Amino acid sequence: MQIEGKTIVVDPYMYLLRNLGSVNNTIIHECVHWVKHRKVFELEKLYNAAASHISCEVKGGAISTLSKKSTEWMEKQANQLTPRIQMPAEPFRVKANQYIAQFMRESNARHTVDVMEKVITALETKFAVSKQAAKIRLVELGFEEAIGTYTYLDGHYVKPHGFRKGTIKVNQTFSLSAQDAAIERFLNPELRALTENGDYLFVDNHYVYNAPLYVERDENGKLELTGYARSHMDECCLVFDMRITSKVENIYHTACYLNRELSDITFEIKYHNGFENAPQERQVAMRKKIQAEELEIRKQMTDDPEQCLELLLKWRGMNYTDLGLEIDRDPKTISRTVKGKTAPTVETAALICFGLHLSPTISMKLMDVFGCKLNPMKYPNHQWINEALYIKYPEPIWAIREYLSPYGVEI
């Protein structure tokens, strides 16, 4: 096919497979190549008669007969200039502030993060760009509240969240997948120490301080971050460093860090030991009071399963029937297990711990008393049950099963 010069050819499938923002981005990207790089191309033709065109793929990276170094340089420049052309700094900043004020007024929102999803969606439409491009441009222009918006992990979008300006760097995050959370807790003794007595739970893809100001139950009883916590992540949640481990151009790093979309890009997550969050003193005092109560119960536990369960049921204000209803087991079956007439499996023992919502300090003792000591190094299912006993124990049984299910663990 003969195509005249100064022509951009766009794959029509772009309109079906991607969005209008991506199509516009592609067109402007190619215009940048024409304006900025045609002289490079003409120079190349003096030495390379085979050079006929430059072709760019949707996934990024330019393909042509030009040298690899030249095409990489041109592609980086086009990638950097395109969103700035689509979203000029001052008009974009003015419109963002207008939308923030409008949506906060309309919804009586207390924090900017509460309306940031609406702001990004409005900017996406106004400037005919993608959500990701609008989000990245907001962050570049100082709207850090956008960092915690449209983060995709474990098959769902994490609820929007915000923090004090300057709290984290672009390669840091409060959000991580359940698998990354488990691996890092297993490998990192500093993180493990913070979760040994239940001080930090894994809720909404964050390690959050276990106090009423930061954690609450939804209408189904499942734990979630409070509105206050989601607006003050630096106060109650732990920070993690991210490093891309797959081979990707550095120019793409910012987009990956900010969006964390499902892709071929893999991250290495590390607990940022140097960061110290600062839960409010009253919340810390409440945790210490709860810990003191738990420690007193732990001291009263013997090596007799029946004595332990009687003690724990009384503490929780429950009986065998209540526990049976909680964990969907016949109370007589639980009684036979406790009396040593039947040997419990690890799953059954853990289920009793979850039904009583026992903190790690108490649940590990009860598991030992039942003769069900966990061996995470040998058995993968023990590793995940162990994780749940440490970081999900206040959750309802159905939520714990939901947490374990992707890893093939049933209780």
Domain ranges of the chain: 14-86, 89-271, 301-407
Amino acid at 187: L
What's the confidence (pLDDT) of residue 34?
A: 78
Stretch among 97-101, 202-206, 377-381 having the lowest mean pLDDT: 377-381
So what's the pLDDT on residue 386? Answer: 95
pLDDT tens digits for range 303-347: 999 999 999 999 999 999 999 999 999 999 999 989 888 888 999
| Lowest-confidence segment of 35-49, 160-174, 364-378 by average pLDDT | 35-49
pLDDT tens digit string along 166-197? 788 778 889 999 999 999 998 899 999 999 99
| Mean pLDDT score of the chain | 84
**Using an 8 Å Cβ cutoff, are 13 and 22 in contact?**
no
Can you state the angle between helices 305-316 and 320-327, rounded to 10 degrees?
80
- pTM of structure: 0.75
Could you tell me the pLDDT band of residue 268, with boundaries at 50, 70 and 90? Answer: confident
Of the pLDDT bands very low, low, confident and very high (cuts 50, 70, 90), residue 75 is confident
Token readout for 407 is 């890893």
Residue 49 has pLDDT above 90, yes or no: no
Residue 136, pLDDT score? 85
Over 50: is that where the pLDDT of 78 sits? yes
Q: State how far the alpha carbon of 199 is from the alpha carbons of 99, 224, 232, 359, 404, in Å.
A: 38, 15, 17, 10, 21
**pLDDT greater than 80 at residue 277:** no
Query: What confidence score (pLDDT) does residue 376 get?
Result: 86
d(CA 401, CA 186): 20
Lowest mean pLDDT among 24-38, 166-180, 211-225: 24-38
Q: What is the pLDDT of residue 402?
A: 94
**Number of C-beta neighbours around residue 358 at 10 A:** 26
Indicate the residue type of 348.
T
Q: Rounded distance, CA 333 to CA 51, Å?
A: 79
CA distance 289 to 145: 34
Closest CA to 391 of 147, 4, 399: 399
CA distance 380 to 318: 32
CA of 118: how far to CAs of 26, 165, 256, 340, in Å?
25, 21, 21, 58
Q: Is residue 82 within 8 Å of residue 129, measured between CB atoms?
A: no
Interhelix angle 131-140/68-86, nearest 10 degrees: 80
Question: Would you state the pLDDT for residue 88?
Answer: 93
